[in-house]
Structure formats: structure tokens, C-alpha cells
A and B are shown apart, each in its own frame.
Chain A
Amino acid sequence: MDAASFIMKQTTNSQSSYVCVCARVTEEDFRKIINESDTATYGELKSLYGIGDRCTSCEFEIKDLLDECLTEKIIAQRAAKLAAPPAAKKPAKRVSPFERLLQRLRGVTPEKPKSAAAKKAEPAGPVRETYRTGMFFLRNAEMEATLAVSNLQFPEHTTNPNGEVTFDVKLHGEDGRLLATSQKIRLANNASIEMTAGELFPEVKGDVVGAMYPEFENLVQTGSLRPYAVMINKTPRAGLARCHYHDKFALFTDPGFFQTNSPFEPGETCWMAISNCQTKRYESDYHLKYGDTILDGKLALEPMASRWVKLEELFPGLDQKAPELSPALFWLENPQHVMVYFFWRLEAGNVWMAQHH
């Protein structure tokens, strides 16, 4: 094989010991699977071993390796057959093994009949579940967050398995109290919406710091429905913003380590938006490290409470013009899962940006 074709067989030039990182399968494992089982298609590798089934990044490499292994297997089988003593003559087959291989690789092999147990294990219909998620919310004289959702049909499907979706949105305030629940919102297939707090929660007046929690009913799959909030400036003086930031809510017990490594950049002002999406109190030490200096403080949020804070306010007396503040590192010590976003305002361009963590 020449260098050019070797390169084209590669998915990436990563020096991984695995052909599929997600399934943690080495080339040796892969060859064992092909040589010692009747697995012969990419689909079977996905369903039986999870190979190529998650991030899908190894797809081309797996297909090429499958092609190579099956060809080697057939050549070895033919060689063994030629070396073996002649057997009683069998009726001629219509399709040669190599042709069958080609058919399999092209995906034209008819599906094998399923066993009775496999048929019994199949669900009667799609399982429908609730999808509840959340994002930080802010409304003040200068800025306002909107809710953005698109219910897009997967472009190669003839229908959207979720069809028209229905959801409502709960708004919790700065102290964690439930402020309002929106009316049921219907979103047709391939439709997009962007709704202000005034449209979602007309009864809620004035400034709000909090979190929005959309709850989608009876979904077959999440599809394109991950919601975003969009932080928008209400006046040009506030700085120009149309910053999308997506949902983060989960009741994970996995640690969520929150940090930003650009908290005090020259000409930028950084805010932290934090929402405790759990039903237990969140308490954490926070730290700022720059050079050899570490500053500390403590932060607490009641269940479902939120806070919008300029980072400099967490460190009174900090000389923000100190050159060693870039790069600096800000982090929260408690790994309890909360929703954390950072927003920056750039003085020179009078614009905003957002980053989720």
C-alpha cells in the first residue's frame, strides 16, 4: 500500500491504540471478532459490540479494516479448502463467497430472521419520556434572556418521530422560589421559536435573576430540541449582545468542576451566571490564582437559586490592571453539579460574549 492510500484509509492521524475509542476495541480485538465469529457487517459491529456506534469518528477506519479483515478471512478459508482432501461433491452454489462478501459490504444481504427471544425483547412502540432541562435567566434594564428552540426533523427521515412537541417552562427566581410556569407551548415539526420572558411569563414584572426550566413531554428522542437561551442587549449603551448559551441542567451526581481561565483579560469585564439546579443547597469556596497569588472566598446558593455577579465583586481590592492577571484561573471548589456560564463585555468593540462550563 502506498503512503497516499494509507493516509486516505485513516480517519485521523491520532496515535490511538484503539480502532474504536468509545468501545475501547484494539485492532487485535477487532481481528479476533472478525476471525472467530460470523460478524461481517458494519451494522453488526455496531449492534453487537458498540463499535462505531457512539461518536462515529472511527467509521471510515472501521469500514476499511472490516473490508481488509474479511478479505483476509476469505483468502485464508479458500487456502484451507484447497489444502484439505476433496470432499463429496455438493451442488453448485449460485453465489460465490467473495460475491456474498461484496453483497454484505454493499449492505444488500437480507436480514437474518430474528429468534423468538429477540422478537419478544423488542418494545411494542417507541418509548416516550420527559426531557427536563434548564438555563440561566436574566432580565434587567440593560439585558434580557430569551428562550430559543428549534424542532427540526432529521433531514433524512420522512417524519419527525416527536411530531409536534409540547412543553412548558418554569421560572425560578434569585432566591430559588418558583416565580411562574408558562402556558403549554406547541412547536410544530420544523418550526423554531424565540420567546421573551414577557411572552412566557406575563405575570412576572421587573428585574429577574434566575433560571428557566423547559419540560418537554412525551419525546421519542431529543433530536434538535436542546434549548438555548439568548442574552440580548436592550439598549446599545449596554453593549451589543445576541449570545446563545445552551442548556446545562442535569441531576447528575458526577462531579462538575467549574472554572474559567480567562477571568480578568485586559479590556474585558467578566460576569459569572450561576444557577443551583439541584434541590439541595450549594456551598463552595471559590479561588482566583494568578502568578503565585491565590485569593479565596465563599459562595452559597439555596436550592434552585441563581446569582449574576461581576467577578471583580468577588475579590474586593483586586487591582484589575495588574499584568499578571492574564492568564489567571478562577474556579469553584465544590463539584456538586450546578449550571455555570461566564459572560464577558469587551470595551473596545462594545460587544458581549458567553461561554458555558
Chain B
Amino acid sequence: MSMTKIKIPKRPREWVPSAFLLIHTPNISCTIRYTPMQHRRNPDARYFSHVKIFGNSAIEPVWETKSGPLPLQSNFALESGAIAADLGIDKLFHYGEVLNSSPDFNPPDPNVSMASHLHYRSTDGSFYGGVSSFTIFGAPRRIERGAYHYEAFPSMRVDEEKYFSVYIINPFVRPAGFWVQIVTKDGEKIESERCVVRGKGVASWSSKGLEIPRDKNPLGVIVRSETKTTSVFTTSTRDGKMIGLDHGHPFLLQVLNHVRPVTVAAGGGGVLREA
């Protein structure tokens, strides 16, 4: 029997949320900032930001706020200290989600989320870095998926001076098991025991207790996860300074064509809907 394919209408893209790690202690703070000056810059459009912070419940946020209409060149800023004060606690290690959107036009290409930017800082250098909020939905590229989801990060170091940590962000309501795999310079594999990140939660794993000979460095790092979690990789010195932070990438099925690139169709993006 041949496979029949049903025609379904091509529908407009819609704005979707993205996810972030919220961290706050007496020494560490972060700012969450959204500017519409990305994607397409449409001076006549209205933009909105809706931020939710999740605690024990994967369904109901413990804190949320909505911006009013934001003009194109605005910078909607939230401070972790203010969120902690609202919640009546002095430490945050929470999952955050932000839906940045415009009611006036649809996403013009497969990048269907507008990111907020996270800027972490500390009074002692123990947590420091900048990263965008992470895509949950929408992908302009095909990622490889097996029984588990994977993200990789190249050339980390675990030696007498440095170690790395991984921060796992789970945007789904389901809890997820995850493992951190280290692939040494010569291909030897070391895997952590199973850890769990709860639904709409964050978790961390550190290589601080590991001893790996210097000549086995640099290390490839892979996060194996039961759901499509996102990972942030940080490098720290043994005396507690964070000196690097960036995100990993999933294994990509296709060759990124930077030689003969295909432009993503704009699909009418940036054109305001009629009122």
C-alpha cells in the first residue's frame, strides 16, 4: 500500500518562549534584559515580554511579570535581586521562561523566539558570564536524536588549575534524567551517574572532584539527556573564579552550508498585519 499524504494548509509562524537559568545569592546576581532590536527591526510594531519563574511546580510559576507595549529601542530589564525580594528569599537557582513577542507581525523565519539576554555577575568573580535565553521550539537546522538527546562542548579542561561545570535547563513539564560524558583527548570515555533535573527546573554537575592527567586534556564533553534539555558549560579556577561560560550544541545532521548558503525565506516577516 502506498503512503498517502494529506495536504495541510501552510500556517503562519507564531512566537514561542525561550528558557533561562536564574541564579542569585548574596554574592551573585543576574539581569534579564530584552530588547526588540533583533530578528527584524520594525519601528511601527509593538513588542511585549512575559517572564515566568518556576519553583516546585512545573505548572504554575512562582513569579511572573508582563511588560507593557515596548518600543523598538527599549531595554526591558529585570534584576534577580528584585525577584528574590518579591519571593522573600535570598537565593535563587530557578528555571525561567520568557515569551518575547509582537502581536503585529509573525516570526519571519524558523527562529521563532526572540531571546532575552542573561548577564550574570558576582562580587567575587565566582559566577560571571553572558548568554541568551535558550530556544525551546523552532530550529533552522536538523539535529541528531537517538534514544536520548545529546549536546556537545569541545576542549574543556580538568587539571590542577581548572575544572568545568554543566548547568542543565529543562523546559519541559516532565522530569529528565541526564548524564555527563567526558571523552578524553585519546578517546577514553568517562560517564557520570544518572542525575535528575525536575520539570521546569535547573540542575548542575561539576567535575571539581575529578582528577584527569594533564596529558589526557583537552576533553570533549557530552550531556546525554532523556528530554531535550539545554546545557551551559562553565570553566572555573580551583580557587573559585568563573572564567568562561557558553552553551553547547546538539549533534547536527547536515553539513552547515557556509560555502553556498541557502537564505532562509523571510516569509513576509517584518510586514505589519493590517489593524
* Interface residue ranges, A against B (CB under 8 Å): 7-8, 10-14, 16-18, 21-22, 24-26, 29, 32-33, 36-39, 44, 48-49, 53-60, 112, 115, 129-133, 148-150, 152, 154-156, 188-194, 219-224, 226-228, 230, 240-246, 249-255, 257, 259-262, 265, 267-268, 289, 294, 327-329, 331, 335, 342, 344, 346, 348-356
Contacts and interface: CB of A to CB of B under 8 A. Distances in A.
Interface string B118-159: 010111111011111001111101111111111011110100
Contacts of A39: 3-4, 6
Nearest to A112: B1
Contacts, number: 320
A37 B5 contact: yes
B121 A346 contact: yes
Given A193-B218, A254-B264, A353-B128, A37 B4 contact: yes
B13 interface: yes
A237 to B, nearest CB: 14
Contact of A22 (B110, B128, B149, B263): B110
For the complex of A and B, the 3 pairs showing the least CB-CB separation, nearest first, are A349-B125, A148-B155, A355-B130
A250 B257 CA distance: 8
B114 to A, nearest CB: 11
Contact of B256 (A26, A222, A355): A222
A331 B37 contact: yes
A154 B144 contact: yes
Interface string B205-241: 0000000000000111010100110000101010001
Contacts of A57: 136-137, 171-172, 228
B8 interface: yes
Contacts of B112: 21
A152 B249 CA distance: 12
Contacts of B35: 259, 261, 329
Contact of B185 (A21, A192, A254, A255): A192
Contact of A254 (B12, B33, B38, B263): B263
Contact of A150 (B3, B109, B220, B242): B220
A287 B213 CA distance: 48
Nearest to B137: A21
Contacts of A115: 2
A192 B157 CA distance: 11
A33 B5 CA distance: 8
Contacts of B13: 21, 24
A22 B59 CA distance: 23
Contacts of B143: 54-56
B218 A194 contact: yes
A193 B154 CA distance: 8
A56 B38 contact: no
Given A54-B139, A194-B218, A259-B35, A240 B241 contact: yes
23 contacts: A11-B172, A11-B173, A16-B137, A21-B137, A29-B11, A37-B5, A54-B138, A131-B258, A150-B152, A190-B189, A191-B187, A220-B255, A221-B251, A222-B256, A226-B154, A251-B258, A252-B263, A346-B125, A348-B122, A350-B241, A351-B242, A351-B243, A353-B130
Q: Using C-beta atoms within 8 Å of the partner chain, give the interface range for chain B.
A: 35 or more
B145 to A, nearest CB: 5
Interface in B96-125: 109-110, 112, 117, 119, 121-125
A10 B140 CA distance: 24
Given A60-B174, A262-B117, A327 B33 contact: yes
B194 to A, nearest CB: 15
A244 B173 contact: no
A188 to B, nearest CB: 7
A12 B59 CA distance: 9
